Structure 1
Amino acid sequence: MSFSVLLNNDNHTDLLSMNKKRNRDSVSASPEGIMRLKQARASQRDDEGKPLSYERLAVKAKMTDRTVKRFFRGIAVDRNNAIAIIKALGLRPEDVLYPEEFLVSESIEQIQAKDTGDSERTGELIKGLERALSEFKKSEEASLEVMEWLKANRKALSQEAAEAALRKHYDQNRNNVDTDYSGDIEVFSQEIRKYLQLIYYCLELGSWELMDRAIQEFLMPVNRDLQLYVDALNFIKNQKVSLSFAPEEANELTLYLDYLIKIIPIRF
């Protein structure tokens, strides 16, 4: 099944099979971490004053550019390579890696570094890890709730967003005050639904790879004024997501929406 077909298919078994098992010693960047990686790379320059390319970053981090590109796409890489990339950009592991991966790695290192035979101290460190992982579990459960909400309400969200964006567009254009755009709502809502479908898959896989592929291969619908897509996604973010969940609960969903809102006017 082709990637473009998957975006139009609610049966995502084939898509999930694309998500390979991680190596025990590999880690990947979280969606928020990928955003920070991209922002850090965009803000830096190489020795010649040019934008920092993946190739230059690879030299700086002492690895292949293929590894760097994989990490930026949310694919798991060797832990040491991941840390090298993060440090080369002046970031911290806890700002980029998935919380549970960072916590486990950091806690084990602390236990090993401070293990002087003091079982009480070791016990305190382990309890700290358990508390942190418990908090992460709550966050993960909230994320799953957001995913199920998006899946169950995708059609209604798309319909309302399409109507709101089209109404705003026609209201701003005085020449179209009396225009009946009701017939266009259904068509536009189907296009918005594909964007939400993509976000859902990204949330489920915990990876930006699908998002990048869809954008790079121009697989997302852009059949009208780009501002309409931006307005529709903004409506979902501000009028639906923010009113349905606390900010920390819908953090990843908001990040994906923000990314699309910013990238659509640039890439299409």
Structure 2
Amino acid sequence: MKLPSSKLAWRPNKNAVLLLIAIAFGIAASLLATRYLQSEVDRRTSTVETKTTKVVVPTQDLAPGDTISQAVISARDIPQDLVPADAILPEHYEEYVGRILRGPATRGVPLSTGMLEASFEHLSKIIAAGKVAFTFSVDDLNSISSMVVPGDHVDILLIASNDKTDVLLPVLSDVLVLATGLKTEGVNASVGKVDAAASYSNLTIEVTPADASRLAVAEKIGRLRISLRRAPAEDVIEFGRFTKEQLLKSGVGKGRERDIEFIIGGKNG
């Protein structure tokens, strides 16, 4: 006699099923959230504009000694944190056209003022049309204790001697001083800083070619002296011929008879 077999049907645990479903939904939600956040970060990062500044850059590699011209430069946007402190800006580029490179410049890399020779190294660029630069030697006395600076206006006097007498003659009046030693426009060429106290042994002035010839001859005849004019140089000052005999005859303290004062000798005390 066979015993009847019993079939036991498997029934899933409802709690376990619900737990698995909840875990699956949690994982899916986490993945979706992660993807959303990442996409949002990417989107915002790509849309954030980096602050830039327009600067002047060379359009080709340049070598030391090359001249800056419009043909070899252009404007380019550069991130602000990469812009040199002395970068040349497009609105000022004309000030640097014609300047010479001290060293190499790479295409696309910002040009800076430090890469260029200083403008005072090219005196020819500041001479007025129709004029020339004339340089003559001075000493501490003749340069008024080195207090004459570029931009001042001076009168040029000649002290000459012959067998009979010494004479002072006016040579030129109201002459512009271009440079004192190696300094033009108040800038010391060696250090690039204003140095009003620096001494020098020559003076460069702006004159006409004819006046340059007169000065060259005057240097051979006697000693050139300068008289510093008041700034701005608007006063009309005329020096007349004056001799040693006139000085001796006029006597001390009578130097104002012609509205001209001559001071002879150095400082006292």
In proportion to residue count, which structure has more strand? 2
Shorter-chain TM band: under 0.3
In proportion to residue count, which structure has more helix? 1
Larger radius of gyration: 2
Alignment TM-score, normalising by the size of structure 1? 0.21
Larger RCO (CA within 8 A; separation ≥ 6): 1
